[in-house]
Chain A
Amino acid sequence: MLIIKDLKVSIQGKTILNKLNLEVKTGEVHAIMGPNGTGKSTLASVIAGRDMFDVDAGEISFMGQDLLDMDPEVRAREGVFLGFQYPVEIPGVSMALFLRTAINEKRKYHGLEPLSGAEFLKLMEKRKKLVDIHSKLTNRAVNEGFSGGEKKKNEIFQMAMLEPKLSILDETDSGLDIDALKVVANGVNKLRSAENSTIIITHYQRLLQYIIPDFVHVMYDGRIVKSGGKQLAYELEEKGYEWVKNEVGIREEI
């Protein structure tokens, strides 16, 4: 589904990702872990199409197409979804209007008729149930005044509505209490299928107790330095990131 080859990304001349390689196949769940400042969120943003970064080298293909050639909205319509680490508040725009516009833009792109108001509401109720979100978030303006937990739940709800092929969840677990964490994990598990893939970016192993990944990668200094199965997450939790550094023989640059 997603193949990243030798990706090099910089911002204002400063290299953030360097020779990053990653392949995610359909139906897989990958976790990307690593200390702060190693480029995890940059990777998520670049896949989603944020234009503040410069892609200096490498390629990303998504379902066989050149992803880097697409505008962010085209990526979204093709099935890429980014769950934001810091979802943006948009006062004045209701969740319903926002999501209905998003869904209908996607439908239009795929040559489908737009959803009517009634159809949309029905879908919304169904998806709410699926991800077990009962709150009245949908009656409010997009993320306005939402608590940290509500914002993250809202990202999962949007993911459920948009039915992406590839979801990238950027630190979705940060700042969540255990109940919110369970809601988020439950949503991801419910939406998980043989047809879609998920990349979970996280700092801690905690979320991975609830969402069992197929692969775990460790990022350091702009690239993936170690990959393994789910047990790698436990090992990391136990031994810390220093262990990986020693393991793969990273020496601090002098």
Chain B
Amino acid sequence: MKKMNTMQESLTQNLSPEQTMVNLFKDHRHQITADHPEKIIQLKEKAIQQVGAVGFPELTTEDWRFTNVEPLFEVPYHYDFSNQSRPFDIESIFTCDVYDLDTFSVTLLNGWFVYKNAPLTSLKDGTLIGSLSKAMEVYPDLVLKHLGSIADITKPGFSALNTAFFQDGLFIYIPEGVKVEKPIQLINIVNSENPILTHPRHLIIQEKNTKLTLVHCDHSLTNNVSFTNSISETFLDTGAEMEFYKVQNKGPNSGVMSHSFFSQKFNSKLNHTSLTLNGGFTKNLINVVLEEQEANATLNGLYLVDGNQHIDNQIQIDHASPHCISEQLFKGILDDEATAVFNGKIMVRKDAQKTLAYQNNKNLLLSDDARANAQPQLEIYADDVKCSHGATVGQLDQDAMFYLRSRGLDKRAARQLLMYAYAAEVVNRIGIEPLRERIDHLVDKRLKGELSICDQCVLHCNSKEPAVFNIDMNKI
């Protein structure tokens, strides 16, 4: 028998969200930690203690000044901690239209790994792709060595919450020297009649000299309320290369809290692009530690928000070793009453000489009520480094508008073209051509107001009632 519990019940008892979550954990401890190795159970116990002790961030908490999480907890979530990883024909709810881009596709449904054939696939070259909960069972040593080792649960935030409650997610292991040719695509779907809170947990381990392209799509199937609080931990050993594309196209009632932690060893390369096309509330936290020399991290981001949408990108790069390079470019277009936060911290440790670190955040505001907050932070303790940061908030260039109109483009077409061009600086950095074309198309559609939440990622889905968001051209 499933036991349901809702936040509403707890709220009527005037409990804080933290205490509610602690109680929820206590009540469902057995189900939440079912079949977990002992070490993981210990980690979870520690994490739930942190939730109770440190709590969730408030507007007075550093790094959270412009992002109010309170509304996320005003929802009567329904909880179901039973194992829902199962064979599932994803095509029953999707019409797939993957052209050009040939991917190895895996799916999470409401936080659980669903699959056609097996929960964990072992490729010929030794690569493992599949369910984290299955991996904990079959390869406990591999998982235990890494899981929780870089996801910091000590600060106010949501990583402790995820660590306490996660039950499944994506697991990828790439043995030394293996270059995975096909991009792996993770489709993270929330599909529920009732509001739900999920905690997907991903673990990606790349041994020496490996290569991986991961496309991670966050997607809503309905406009129902949901809150996804995910963590991914990625380990890039010596010479490992990763291209990580995160595409977020969520409904207006969805909350996304996405933590990505990266550990980079000698000469490893990370190229991360986050693309937020739609979302009610989105906070992306990216945390990179350049642990050894010659490591290189490039983080690009594009966000297109309107209505009451809120996007927060919080980036932390820790230059812990000399001769590393980090580069960030985040651009956004905001309309209506949308709000955006960019919080980028670059830490250069005392020994990290010859560091190159660049950061840039640019915002295009289309309405008087849209708001962008940029908080660049540099902390430099080494003396032989090159670091720079910049942040701009602006409007469409009137000279360019006139130039285009003088060639016969009306206001609307001219604005669209300029916004498209603005976004192109980020889109053009996408290395894989079919993916770049696909994303280029999505951005174009989004700016024309033709993108629904069902035009997801690299797939194409047919929903009964597509919700369309429109950046209103007439307000500019």
Contact = CB atoms under 8 A, between A and B. Distances in A.
B421 interface: yes
Interface residues of B, number: 24
Interface stretch (B104-112, B232-240, B289-297, B398-406): B398-406
A102 B409 contact: yes
A84 B424 contact: no
B410 interface: yes
Contact of A88 (B403, B417, B420): B403
Contacts of A71: 405, 410-411
Contacts of B402: 50-51, 72, 88
Given A71-B405, A90-B403, A101 B413 contact: yes
A248 B397 CA distance: 42
A235 interface: no
Interface string B280-292: 0000000000000
A92 B425 contact: yes
B462 interface: no
A85 to B, nearest CB: 12
A185 interface: no
B408 interface: yes
A105 B409 contact: yes
Most buried by A among B397, B399, B406, B417: B406
A160 interface: no
Given A72-B405, A93-B420, A105-B413, 7 more contacts: A49-B406, A73-B405, A73-B414, A76-B406, A92-B420, A93-B417, A106-B408
Contacts of B73: none
Interface of A: 48-51, 71-73, 75-77, 81-82, 84, 87-88, 90-93, 97-99, 101-103, 105-106, 109, 141, 158, 162
Nearest to A158: B407
Contact of B407 (A51, A92, A98, A109): A98
B391 interface: no
Interface of B: 397, 399-400, 402-411, 413-414, 417-418, 420-425, 428
A93 B423 CA distance: 10
B422 A92 contact: yes
Contact of B405 (A49, A81, A87): A49
A140 to B, nearest CB: 13
14 contacts: A48-B406, A71-B405, A72-B405, A73-B405, A73-B407, A73-B409, A73-B414, A76-B408, A90-B400, A90-B421, A91-B424, A92-B420, A98-B407, A109-B408
Contacts of A72: 402, 405-406
Nearest to A51: B402
